A and B are shown apart, each in its own frame.
Chain A
Amino acid sequence: MNLIIFSGPPSSGKTSIILKVIASYNRRNIKVGVVKFDCLYTDDDAAYEKAGIPVKKGLSGALCPDHFFASNIEEVVSWGNQENLDLLITESAGLCNRCSPYLKDIKGVCVIDNLSGINTPKKIGPMLKSADFVVITKGDIVSQAEREVFASCVSSVNPRAITMHVNGLTGQGAYELGSLLYDEDQDIKSVQGMKLRFPMPAALCSYCLGETRIGEAYQMGNIKKMDLGADKK
């Protein structure tokens, strides 16, 4: 089975792109399944079901969604193998812009949109910088100049990635993306022992453990203070 990890900021067009890519596999008889990771709510599974694609969803709820991803991916991969999929796609939203779910040796795709602003490539960390493919969406509604500037910002933070413009509505570019993603020779039986490309952000302070009170007296563990400069006496 092939495994591809899709990631990207909320509402950047991940689901639309994945659906268009899967549609491009129709004629090739490739059986695709999707596992959608989200935080509090998603109805994207309905969109996949409607398209007749086997889908599972996982909501991280009170947990950090990327840690949730890392602790579930192994079971997700064995589900994909049980279903006899040729290709398993995982989709997860990067919520704090710091995490990245990509695994070494597994193709990682980052979806970002032109509308998110020119500084976005700077703001997104490993999720964009360590992706193998960067898919830029919503190019049909911004000017050519903005598209070019955005793409050049992307390639300066991740020059090795293949950067593509794909239109999630018309599907323009989705066939081409699909032809690069599926590898007939890849056969992932398990991801046990594989490594994340980049460590998740540190956590573990008293607020992770349910503390709600504000004040230094209640703060324990891994605490970082802002530098407020001259105002501090």
Chain B
Amino acid sequence: MTNWTLLQILEKYPFALAYFEQNKLDIAGYEDRTLEEYLDHFSELELEDQALDKEKILSDFPVYIEQMQSFLGVEEKNQVLSLTILAGHDKSGVTEGFEELTILTSQIISIVGPTGSGKSRLLADIEWAAQNDTPTGRSIHINGEVPDNKWRFSSNNRLVAQLSQNMNFVMDLTVQEFLNMHAVSRLVENPQSIINEIIKAANNLAGEKFDLTTPVTSLSGGQSRALMIADTAILSSSPIVLIDEIENAGIDRKKALELLVSSDKIVLMATHDPLLALIADKRIIIKNGGISKVIHTSDEEKELLVELEKMDSLIQHARQELRKGSHLSSEILA
């Protein structure tokens, strides 16, 4: 690759453009030169002025190309089909109350336990693909095997995507620009069709509709959440999604979970809302830094969930009527 011209490099690896852009290398007019020849045109003064390190740029470039290529290949090859947690111990050294827990794609597991009980630690163990080398002594297997180290060190292949209540959009972009930027960073071939798919899915979740020209910072709480979930489901490369509570306002939470599950994600959801916790097949109980129990959602609980959902929709209905300006009467209970 070192004797290739920049044009040849860009033809073979179009994503190399991002490397030049991020490193502020304006290659216009030098397409017929090699990278080294291009860098040679800078004077000593220019190199110093722009804080460019010629050798580092030259030696980093093949590393970057290799990373991006493996990243492109990974999506097809190394699909995550299951996540297994092997028990460790809690803060006092007591063995956890389960042996192993395997979660398949499209499954939802809820996590309950007070703040500070060890939810972050569990998440960190999964994200790091712990191998009995963290304070809990847990091990994580992917597809039933000890996972590849790439999950630890690659910045483009993270195991876990996170969605939490505190999250906000901080970029001053429209929905279109925002999604496009994300799609480009994921090297998507046809960004527009993915963008359309995401906005459609997001609007399907959000109580109030929005469009591609809306700035992301002016979306309501429910709309932001809907966009984040749709974007994570459709565009994120991470096979595991951790959700930290979804507020019961302005978003259809059940549909949101269905969307994630239909995108073959493994969903872990920290929640104390019975409507969400009981949707999960199993729930993990965390105490004193360890998993004290894994409970299967019983048939009775599933039946109860139906009743709870009825009560919930009653309250939702009353809320909508209030918003419209109607009088409420006891008839809504009928």
| Per-residue contact bits, chain B 22-65, to A (CB 8 Å; 1 contact, 0 not) | 11100000000000000000000000110101001000100110
With contacts A118-B171, A159-B63, A167-B120 taken as known, whether A152 is within 8 angstroms of B134 at the C-beta atoms is no
Partner of A159, one of B51, B64, B158: B64
Partner of A143, one of B48, B60, B228: B228
How far apart sit A141 and B60, CA to CA, in the bound complex (Å)? Answer: 31
With contacts A144-B236, A155-B67, A176-B134 taken as known, whether A198 is within 8 angstroms of B167 at the C-beta atoms is no
Q: How far is the CB of B125 from chain A (nearest CB, A)?
A: 9
How far apart sit A121 and B23, CA to CA, in the bound complex (Å)? Answer: 9
User: Could you say which of B1-9, B73-81, B177-185, B251-259 contacts chain A?
Assistant: B177-185
Q: Are B124 and A173 in contact (CB under 8 A)?
A: yes
Contacts of B18 on A, CB cut-off 8 Å?
A: 152, 156
| Per-residue contact bits, chain A 83-106, to B (CB 8 Å; 1 contact, 0 not) | 000000000000000100000000
Q: Are A155 and B156 in contact (CB under 8 A)?
A: yes
B162 near A: Cβ within 8 Å? yes
Q: How far is the CB of B241 from chain A (nearest CB, A)?
A: 8
Partner of B53, one of A126, A141, A171: A126
Q: How far is the CB of B140 from chain A (nearest CB, A)?
A: 12
Q: How far is the CB of A185 from chain B (nearest CB, A)?
A: 18
Q: Are B23 and A115 in contact (CB under 8 A)?
A: no
Q: Are B22 and A157 in contact (CB under 8 A)?
A: yes
B213 near A: Cβ within 8 Å? no
How far apart sit A216 and B186, CA to CA, in the bound complex (Å)? Answer: 50
How far apart sit A209 and B100, CA to CA, in the bound complex (Å)? Answer: 68
Contacts of A154 on B, CB cut-off 8 Å?
A: 155
A214 near B: Cβ within 8 Å? no
A187 near B: Cβ within 8 Å? no
Q: Are A176 and B128 in contact (CB under 8 A)?
A: yes
| Per-residue contact bits, chain B 135-170, to A (CB 8 Å; 1 contact, 0 not) | 100000000000000001101101001111011111
Partner of A148, one of B152, B167, B182: B182
A54 near B: Cβ within 8 Å? no
Partner of A172, one of B67, B124, B235: B124
Q: Are B48 and A202 in contact (CB under 8 A)?
A: yes
Partner of A163, one of B53, B133, B155: B155
How far apart sit A158 and B57, CA to CA, in the bound complex (Å)? Answer: 9
A140 near B: Cβ within 8 Å? yes
B19 near A: Cβ within 8 Å? yes
Q: Are B231 and A143 in contact (CB under 8 A)?
A: yes
Interface residues on B, range: 35 or more
Chain A contact residue count (CB 8 A cutoff): 50
Q: Are A143 and B169 in contact (CB under 8 A)?
A: yes
How far apart sit A209 and B127, CA to CA, in the bound complex (Å)? Answer: 51
Partner of A142, one of B24, B60, B153, B168: B168
B123 near A: Cβ within 8 Å? yes
Q: Are B64 and A156 in contact (CB under 8 A)?
A: yes
Q: Are A143 and B167 in contact (CB under 8 A)?
A: yes
Q: Are B120 and A149 in contact (CB under 8 A)?
A: no
A195 near B: Cβ within 8 Å? no
Contacts of A152 on B, CB cut-off 8 Å?
A: 18, 155-156, 185
Contacts of A163 on B, CB cut-off 8 Å?
A: 155
Supply 21 A–B pairs (Cβ within 8 Å), ascending by A. Answer: A115-B170, A126-B53, A130-B56, A141-B166, A143-B224, A145-B179, A145-B236, A148-B236, A153-B22, A155-B155, A155-B156, A156-B19, A156-B22, A156-B23, A156-B64, A170-B120, A172-B123, A172-B124, A175-B135, A176-B152, A179-B133
For the complex of A and B, 7 pairs with smallest distance between CB atoms: A163-B155, A125-B51, A159-B64, A156-B22, A170-B120, A155-B155, A145-B182
Interfacial residues, chain B to chain A (CB-CB below 8 A): 18-19, 22-24, 48-49, 51, 53, 56, 60, 63-64, 67, 120-121, 123-124, 127-128, 133-135, 152-153, 155-156, 158, 161-164, 166-171, 178-179, 181-182, 185-186, 224, 228, 231-232, 235-238
